[in-house]
Structure formats: structure tokens, C-alpha cells
Structure 1
Amino acid sequence: MRRSILTSLLVLCLVAAPAWAQPSPGELTVILSSLSTEALDPILAGHIVKFYLSLMFDYLVGATPDGQLSREGGVATRWEASGDGKRWTFHLRRGVRFHTGDELTAEDVKFSILRALGPRSTTGYAQGLRQLVKEIETPAPDRVVIVTKDATVMIPTLLSRLLSTEGMILPKKYVEAKGDDGFARAPVGSGPYRFVEQVSSSHVRLEALPSHWRLGTPKYKTVVFKAVPEETTRIAMLRRGEADVVEISRERMKEVEGAGYAVHLRREDGQIEGWFVQPWAQTPIRDKRVREALNLAIDRTELAETVFGGQASPAAVPFGLSWSFPEIKFKITPEMVYAHDPGRAKKLLADAGYANGFPIDIFAFQLPGFPEGRAMAEALAGYWQSVGLKPRLIPVDYPAFRKQWFDRTAPGALGYYNIANRDWIGTYALIDKYAAPTAKSASIRDPELDSLMDAVIHQADREKTYALMRSIFNRLRSEHLGLPLVYYHTPYATSKRVPRWNPGAIMYELNVDELLAGK
């Protein structure tokens, strides 16, 4: 069984943004370049708006800020699998209440998961769960049993805060009474903050409960997430005392630090990964020596220092998201690191029959959180030109590139993306997106990799699963099935009243809980 995990997004449209006022002492203000989809219903939101939804809703399985499953942070206080790996039992925390006052029970958990797997769901991992989950039993108000079609170790993580929103628990009675549209306009969860208002392209405002099992008595009565696309405006708001946490660019870190504000890094927040548009069976990319040469021609250390202002580090494994490495016990060995070796790159090209080079297209575009995109594409063109290739830069916006990628009308051309870091299960799903033969996004064709991917989804033994994941990474690296470039660090500046903060290491999540907790 294979999973192709693609997220489609819906946008809620309301009204224009107001002028901002200085926040009250009891308000925490977080300013970002975008609030993404702005969805309020978890099944329409995907993982990219978790930063405010995670305050409104509780997850079945919690997570620590450093990216480990937690029995303290979720509705389930413990869970275990049956001997055959096909029945996962979750024991629920008693006394958890929704903002309506109703107690959260096993029926709410069952309802929420089935809704997340339903046809309306656009979340990132819904399709994988659809293929895994056979049925859900509720033998007691505080106990849920998820029965799977095949043995698997993935269920707790797929329903945790580590990944998307499938594990968020909703009030069954309220959703059924209000209907999907009514719930999307006035969502209710069981998290430490309740929804107050949303203004499209402007802000989402939340209000604290008097006390909550996750945070104790919150330090701030309200939390406001604001969308301010212009970085100069965001920094000006920080200087005027209108913001507590502000997303900034790598380019302006020193300026902000020089003004006396603390800057906090989400280290290795993601990986810049390049890939080649299918079908490339009739292009030079089909030759392993060519793919290796393209990698060896690049000076990743220079790229990290110049294009990314020193706020990045070289990557070595295609689609090798580093937050996945510790749990599966994978380590980057010295021989895996791509040296900058133009001489060897030229020899490999000559051995492959391309001593005089060949034309190669590089799409050049920028992405949210990745303003360096076009500058990086220009740098890659320079590296490849220096070993005799004939690169052609094609400036486009991302949707135009994505169409050619999915339509497969640019065989062998280079695309790239800033891929958010994540745990090993999220990484497995990502690799499947690029390797599954039937996926529109497929950019890899490798039968051995396909076999390893198939084996993971059916494996119930955790250590054997980890060994398979290590083999997948080794295969990606040994066959040079992509262009791993750098791990980038994402900076956030904070006001004087937030001198210390750990932004955390959970995909698309900001560890705002740390700033709010009154425990």
C-alpha cells in the first residue's frame, strides 16, 4: 500500500484589515508575513495554520517542543498496540471539557478522526490514514480503539501535534448542531484559548480560559495572530511596541539585533531541495554519474554563507529532513557530505558522454519564507556553467512552475522547494509524494526505492521500520536522487518583554505555549 499525500487548500474570505493599536499588557501579539489559508476548521486547514489552531484545539496525542510524542500534552495519557499491530488503544484524560462546557469523550475522538478522513478533508495526511484505518471502536467513554487494515507503528504520530491537524479533537454534538459551515465560522475546541474573531488577511484573535490542564492559568488573556506581508512594517511595529513575536528575514537579522531586540532561530526549520521534472528517462539526468556531477559542482558552504547570510548549513541527503534522523538513528557520515569538487564533476560528465556539457533548464522563483529563491537559482546556474553545462534560467512564479511540473512538460528541468522539517513519518510521506509512481508530483523513478517504501507501510516492528527508513535515506543518497542544498534557519524577533524563547522543533508550529504557560 502506498500513500500519495497532497494537500489542497480552501480560503475563507471576510473583510479588510484595520489599523493596529498597541497591545494591552494582557495581550500577546504574533506578527507573521501570512496566515496562510486562514482556515478555522482543522479538516480544511492542513498543517500550515497549526500555530493558532493548536491553542484552540487539543490533540489526541501531544508533543514536546523538541518534537517527541508526549503523554503530558495530549488528550490521550497513554496508548498501546495489540500484539499483531492492528489495534491501537488510547486511554483518554478525564475531565477535559470543550468551550461549550461539554466533557470530551471517546465519541468525540471517533467523530473527529472519521471527519478528518472524510471526503471534505484536505489535510496533509488524511489520505494515508484513509488507507490505514479500518474502523474505530469506543468501548468506554475514556477509551478509543483504532483498528487498522495492516499492522503499523504510525497511528500515534499521525494523530499527534507533530504532523498535521488530523489528531485535533472536535465536539461532536456542537459540530452536528451547527453544521460544517457554521462550525467553520464559529469553531469550538477544548484548547486553552477560545476563538473570538477572524478578519481575513488581517488577524485571528483568541481569548484564554481561566485555567487549562495544558498551560495552567495563561499569562496573557488574549493572543492575536496578525498577517503583515511587508517586512519593513513588521519591524516598525516591533520597534513601536505593537508586537511581541515578529517573523523577520535572514537578511535583516543583524539590523534587528543591532536595535536591541532578541532574535530566536528555528534551526534547520526546513531543507532547500532540488529535483528534476519527470519524465527524465530520455534526458542526461537518467545517468547516475550526471546526477552526482550536478551535486559535486555546487559549493554548499558558500551557498549557505552568501545567499542565506550564514543562516543555513549544507545538506547531504535528498529529502533527508534532519528532524527525522534522531528517532530512526540515522547519521550523516563524512563520505555522505558532497564535497565541492568541480574537477570530479567534469570527469563524471565526460565519462557519461557529456564532455561538452548539455543544456539544462533551471526554473527561478521565490516562495513564502524563501525570498532567496531566485538568487539561489542564479548561483546554481553559475556552478553548473563552471563545469561546462549550459544552464538556462527561466524566471517564473511558483504556480507557473508547478503547472509544468505536474503536467510534465519540462523533462529534466530543475525545480526546488523550501520543505518544512518534520519527524520520520512526515518525512516518509514527503518522500512518497516525490517517489510514488502514480503521484503527479513524482520526480523519482527507482524500483529499489519503491520496494523499500512499500515495506515501511506494512512493517509493525519499530526497529525494523527504522532500519528500512535508514535504507531509504542511503538509497536516495547513493543514487543521487535529488539535489539536497541547505538546511535553513528561520529567525523570529521578540519584544523586550519576551527576552527568552524556544521556537521549538515541530513542523509548521511555533512554541507559543512556552510564552503563555502559567504553570
Structure 2
Amino acid sequence: MKQLKGIWALVLMLLISLALVGCNSSAGTDDEPAEDGDAAEETEATSGGQLVFARGGDSTSLDPAITTEGEAFRVTDNLYETLVNFGPQDTEIEPGLATDWTPSEDGLTHTLNLREGVKFHDGTDFNAEAVVFNFERWKAGDAEQFAYYTSQFGDKIDSVTAVDEYTVEFKLNAPIAPFYKNLAMSPFGIASPAALEEFGDDFFKNPVGTGPFKFKEWKENDRITIVKNEDYWQEGLPKLDEVIFTVIPENSARLNALATGEADLIDGVNFSDKATIESNPDLQVIERPSLNVGYLGLTSTRGPLKDKLVRQALNYAVNKEQIIDAFYAGAADPAVNPMPPVIAGYNPDVADYPYDPEKAKELLAEAGYPDGFEMELWAMPVARPYMPEGQKVAEALQKMFEAVGVKAKIVTYEWGTYLDKAAKGEADTFLLGWTGDNGDADNFLYVLLDQDSIGSNNYSYYQNAEVHELLLKAQASSDQAEREELYKQAQVIIKDDAPWIPLVHSTPLLAASKNVINFLPHPTGSDLLSSVEIKQ
């Protein structure tokens, strides 16, 4: 991760320097010189105003603890805060609601000193008791209710204690190497205990945190409005008065809304539209640092997919380069492993399944399906950073599978239903993806493919005892070199077991009006908007 940190640090420095001279060039990494007259426009950048952020789908919850999807975190990261923060464009840890922390030598005790003078949006105090309340709430739930708590901490947190008003102590049953990175993740935003008790099961639509923005209203499948927290503890922030997250399902319609001024910022930009946006002097393209994987999950507990040979055959049937050329305009790399190469512990020696339809047919025949079989292929109903055109990718895969005798019926559902049913193992095969939450290999391999995560984020219901042992050992080790070697071993086994068809690692595109400045897209996909301004 040191290399990645250095890259993003350079990007951040460049962005700041461009903002200081009033440059509004396309993409966060553009190094073209500012045009004449831009410096004079700097004085027009003012605080206040409204930002309309158009996206492909609605949030499923505004309680980050009970969801796993990015459209929720896109909003909640601006309403809640975590004990530890990530850097502006990397996953290195920084102070958040905790100002500093001290781990014990054995990694089993962690003492955090909390920031004083912070209040929740309802006026109640943030303190150690509030932290304890949140963790006890998550610990008392189960994988279905608090999937992320289960996958990141499980039963490894023995206790969370308020030592005094602004000191909290965590005692673990076993070391967790990425403990602080886990604390910085979106699902662990600290909520107001008073509001949790007041709203009960309806808290997910009545969010109360300590963040730079406060919740105003949610019109489902239309818009979520958040407004400036006038009592925010960071002086001078946020810059905006109001942010509206509006839902426009079609990528082309979202782009049109941007072009006509109905939206200021959009995600899910088709890669084929990049040149068109760049040619418009009123717009800018923004590249999100890549930390993702798009994949087709193969549920290993269903029908023919129980057989490893069948899963391997489907891998041989897929032409990844064709998918990338058709739907990513080349702005993606074929995925070999379940995590991107920038993650420490990635195994570059694992060979991918080459595109080989004849080999696919041979394996199907060996598995007892010489004439193929029928299955469902679930297509995502929303654009996501790793897959902006889920339906079209599904159609391409359908043709590839048909060429080897497998008839795939395309099925889709509303986004929340899609995730819920897939998590319950109801899909044969399903398109999905993952944007890393903390930059650690544990967040990909353990969270997505360990047997402990079945029922939470392991939608393919894959389990392998040897992989499980390797991942638990890596999770508990304080030796980074040892951890990386263990993850590399696990990837070899996972590749052979083929619970997925890893498809792509993409460089997601966003677009914005040239009037939007200081927007720093985060590799996790959850963007803090407190520093964003609109030039008037």
C-alpha cells in the first residue's frame, strides 16, 4: 500500500495546486496548465449553495450499520463519522472522532482517546458511552442484521469499555491485523444513542450522526436531501448549504441532466461517453482511484454449480477482453484474482483461465453435462463503479455461455431485493462487484469468500477449510510479510475452486460541471463532500 499511498498523495497535491489557480480541467489527475483567466475566477469560489449529485439507484438504508451497498454509504459518510478516518484519497488511517490510539504489544487491547466537544445532530454529546452503545448494538445482532460487523470483527471483540468520558478501551479475543482500518470503514459510523432509542426500527430513515451534514428528507427512489450542520466541530466546514442525491437510473439520462444543468455531479458514466464529456467546455471528467473488482458469482450450493469442474468450465467460456472492449472502452483490466493488484498480498503468479470454449465443453462433459444445462444469470439493475452497464454485460455473458451449451436466463430485481435474495443464496449466478472498504486484502478475501462470511458478504456460499485457516492466520498476524504470503497461498486455492468469474478491475468515471471544485473521489467509493464548493 506504500506505493499506492504515494501515488494518491501526488494526485492530491496536484489537485490542490490546480484548485489554487482556479483550474477546472477534466479528471482529478489532469496535469495540463491552467488556461488564461482562470486565476481571476478564484475569487468567485464561494461557500454555500446547493449540489445535486445524480446517481443510478437509491440508498437502501441511512443506517450504515445495517447495509453493505455503496449507494447507502455515499450518503451516510456525510452524516456520520468514524473513530478513525482514511486519508482524502487513500486508505492510510488518520484521526477521526478519536484523536489518537494505543495498541498493546499483543494486539489484544486498544485504547482510543476521543475528540472532546463533539455533538450529535440531535444535540446530545458524543463520548465514550456513545461508542460503547454502538458497538454493543452491533455485537448483539447477527450476520443478517449487521453483515459488516460480522465480517470485519465477528466474535473477536470481547468487550468495549468507557474508561472515562473520552477514553474507550477495546479488548479482543484474537488479534485483528487491520483493526484500525476496519474502524475507519463506512458501516462503523457512530450514531446517536438517543436517536437509536427514539426511532428504533425506523432509525434507518431517521439518521443522526456527528457529520458535516444533517439529514433533511428522503423521498424514496427520488431524492435524499442533506443540509449543512451549522454546529459541526471542524470550523469552516462544510462549504455547501445543501446536497441533494437524486436518482436517475439510466446512464444516458444522468449525463443529459448534467449537460442541461439539472445535476452538478454524476456517477456511473459510460466509458464510451468520456470523449463527449471532455469536449464540452462546461463539464469535467473525474476518475476515481481504482480499488474494485467486478465479478460473476457462481453459487456453489446450487445445482450443477456444486461441481468445481462446471465452475471452471464457465470461467473458460468467458472472453474478458471482449467485455472490456465493448463496455469499458478499454478503461479496465481483466481480473484474475478476487482483489485488485494494488492490494498488498495480491498474487501475480496465479494464471487466469484463458478464453477457451472447447476446454469449457470438455469440462462440462467430464462433469456429466455434455449437452450443457440451464441456469439463471442475475443482472444488476443499477450502474455501479465496477459495472456501469450490468444488463448489457449479462447479455454478453449469456451468449458466451450459450456457445458452450449452457442456457442462461437473465433475471433482475429492484436493487435492494437483488442484494437481499443474492445474500440468501437464491441466485445461480449473479453479477456483482466490490469496492474495497479499507485497502486490506482481508477486506476482499475474508469478507467476500471466507466461510464465516456466508450469510453476509459471501454471496457465492463458497467454503474451503484450508482457505479459512489461511485467512484467519493472516488476519491475526502482525507480520505484514507473513500476511501477504498467506493471502497469496489462499488465492491459488480460490482460483482452482472457481467460486467466481472475476471480470474486471475498472477505473470508474464520474462527471461534473466545471463549477464544481474540491471534489476528491475516494477509492472506497464513499466521498466526503464537506470541502466541495460551487463556483458562482
- TM-score, L = length of structure 2: 0.75
User: What displacement does 1:30 show?
Assistant: 1.2
- The amino acid of 2:516's aligned partner reads V
Deviation per CA, 1:192-216, whole angstroms, max 9, x where unpaired?
2223333333322222245745574
Q: 1:206 touches 1:223 (CA, 8 Å); kept in 2?
A: yes
Deviation, 1:392, is 0.6
Change (3 A) 1:85 1:227: same
- CA deviations on 1:176-198 (whole Å, 9 max, x unpaired) are 5x353686565432222223333
The alignment partner of 2:508 has SS state of strand
Q: Unpaired segments of 5 or more residues in structure 1?
A: 1-23
Assess, with a 3 A threshold, how the Cα gap between structure 1 residues 95 and 284 changes in structure 2: closer, same or farther: closer
Distance 1:188 1:406 in 2: 27
Letter in 1 for 2:339: L
Alignment of structure 1 residues 349-498 onto 2, 5 Å:
352=366, 358-359=372-373, 361=375, 363=377, 365-369=379-383, 370=387, 372-384=389-401, 386=403, 389-398=404-413, 414-422=429-437, 423=439, 424-427=441-444, 428-432=446-450, 436=454, 441-459=459-477, 461-498=479-516
Over the matched positions of the two proteins, sequence identity in percent amounts to 22
The equivalences for 1:52-451 within 5 A come to 52-72=75-95, 74-119=96-141, 122-128=145-151, 129-161=153-185, 164-166=186-188, 168-173=189-194, 175-176=196-197, 178-180=198-200, 186-210=206-230, 212=232, 214=234, 216-250=236-270, 251-260=272-281, 261-268=283-290, 270-279=292-301, 283=304, 286-288=307-309, 291-317=311-337, 320-322=338-340, 326=342, 328-333=344-349, 336-341=351-356, 352=366, 358-359=372-373, 361=375, 363=377, 365-369=379-383, 370=387, 372-384=389-401, 386=403, 389-398=404-413, 414-422=429-437, 423=439, 424-427=441-444, 428-432=446-450, 436=454, 441-451=459-469
- What's the CA shift for 1:331? 4.4
Using the TM superposition, name which of 296-305 and 495-504 deviates more: 495-504
Change in 2 beyond 3 A, CA 1:34/1:378: closer
Aligned-residue CA RMSD (Å): 3.8
The answer to whether the 8 A contact 1:363-1:394 is kept is yes
What is the number of residues matched between the two proteins? 476
Structure 2: distance between partners of 1:336 and 1:321: 14
Question: Which is further off, 87-96 or 222-231?
Answer: 222-231
CA distance in 2, matches of 1:353, 1:165: 41
Give the SS at the match of 2:447: helix
CA distance in 1, matches of 2:367, 2:160: 57
Q: Is the 8 A contact 1:208 1:218 kept in 2?
A: yes
Q: How far did residue 85 of structure 1 move?
A: 2.2
Change (3 A) 1:307 1:43: closer
* Displacement after TM superposition at 1:362 (Å): 5.2
Tell me: CA distance 1:172–1:343, structure 2 relative to 1, closer, same or farther (3 Å).
closer
Partner of 2:529: 512
- Contact 2:55–2:248 at 8 Å: present in 1 too? yes
Q: 1:363 to 1:59 in 2, by over 3 A?
A: same
**Which SS does the other structure have where 2:140 is aligned?**
coil
User: Aligned with 2:263: secondary structure?
Assistant: coil
The answer to which of 134-143 and 212-221 deviates more is 212-221
User: Partner of 2:78: helix, strand, or coil?
Assistant: helix
Q: Distance in 2 between matches of 1:401 and 1:174?
A: 29
Q: For the residues of structure 2 that align with 1:376 and 1:27, how far apart are their CA atoms?
A: 35
For the residue of structure 2 that corresponds to 1:328, the secondary structure is coil
TM-score normalised per structure 1: 0.78
Distance 2:308 2:195 in 1: 57
SS at match of 1:125: helix
Question: Which position in structure 2 is the counterpart of 1:20?
Answer: none
